[in-house]
Amino acid sequence: MKALVLSGGAGTRLRPFSYSMPKQLIPVAGKPVLVHAVENLRALGITEIGIVVGGHAAEIAAALGDGSRFGVRVSYIRQDVPHGLADCVRLARDFLADDDFVMYLGDNVLPGGLAELAEGFLARRPAAHVAVKKVGDPSSFGVVQVDGEGRAVRLWEKPAHPVGDLAIMGVYFFTPAVHEAVAAIRPSARGELEITDAIQQLVSAGHEVRVHEHHGQWWDTGKLEDLLECNRALLDILPPPVAGAAAGAVDAHSELVGPVILGPGARIVRSRIVGPAVIGGGSEVVDSALGPYTVIGEECRLSGAGVEDSIVLDRARIRQVRGIRQSVIGRAALVISSPRGGHRLAVGDHTTVEVAAA
């Protein structure tokens, strides 16, 4: 079995971060979302992974390389214009050949892995095996109607008035039968080749399409609040650091409480860190207090900072600013206190800034 991981798309819900980096490389619990996906696939024994990339292809290739670091072989498949998920299958036809494959949206995180889903597919080997989850508002997802035997009857893409509450999660198992279905569909009203239309084509042609309701944790990390919630959940199951194996340096005037992972070369000086937390390699935390669920990227500099329940990306600097909560701070960003008082802001497009009421 092969895997096809979709890592294109504009990531409009995560602007301004997605202007300068692919959303799939934003870290949760100290690893890019895309790395969590690759590790889940490797845990299934899959070693051939095709990554569909768009405008941020170079950054994704820099993060994953040829895949050998993760025990897999990665092939990159270019999608210059995002024309839909089924278009990704079309573009990957040569890579996929006539193998079964799992298609995985690269901004999805499933902490419990894919084993149960894979077992369901392998047990019956239907033409398609679709993971779904009950959600409160499925109108922003694909939606599937299921019969009493667990077979798909009808599918819709982002319906204004959903029939039922089973949202398609973004993990699909396919046999090669899907290629004929993809070739038979036409662009939707959105101008895209919808994977829901391809699966519906399989149903209409008499192929078996099974549906698996997932009861474990799952995040589509395309929104800021979901990204932070996912970060908290993954940090909660972070393995404790091995005694005596700290990669960073902690001075005698600092205190680490609970699970705190230090990357190589990290320095903690006169600071208190309450875990679960991750401090990236080469970062320096001085005279600061970091609360639970904080992830600091690599080569960051924090001085007189107070941060909790937040993600700070690589090379960011925070000086003499406390009370930062439930925030994402971008790469090489500078957050400092103003000696003039008040708030001095340089705010980019599609940015949200929340300040305490006077």
pLDDT of res. 244: 44
**Residue 280 pLDDT exceeds 60:** yes
Work out the burial of residue 340: count CB atoms within 10 Å of its CB; fewer than 13 is exposed, 13-18 middle, 19 or more buried.
exposed
Question: How does DSSP classify residue 291?
Answer: -
Comparison of pLDDT for 171 and 332, the residue scoring more: 171
Is the distance from CB of 310 to CB of 276 less than 8 angstroms?
A: no
- For 174-211, what is each residue's pLDDT tens digit? 999 999 999 999 999 888 999 999 999 999 999 999 99
Give the C-alpha distances (Å, rounded to integers) separating 255 from 82, 115, 117, 214, 251: 48, 39, 42, 40, 9
Per-residue model confidence (pLDDT) at position 344: 56
pTM for the model stands at: 0.86
Q: What angle do CA 112, 243, 70 make, to 5 degrees?
A: 40
Q: Give residue 273's pLDDT.
A: 96
Q: Over the stretch 96-117, which tens digit does the pLDDT of each residue have?
A: 999 999 999 988 889 888 999 9
Rounded distance between C-alpha atoms, residue 351 and residue 100, angstroms = 42
Measure the CA–CA gap between 3 and 20, rounded to whole angstroms.
27
Q: Tell me, what's the pLDDT at 333?
A: 85
Domains and CATH numbers, the chain: 2-233 (3.90.550.10), 238-336 (2.160.10.10)
In the chain, what percentage of residues exceed pLDDT 70? 89
The number of C-alpha atoms within 13 Å of 239 and in the hemisphere containing its C-beta is 3
- Distance of alpha carbon 297 from alpha carbon 312, whole angstroms: 6
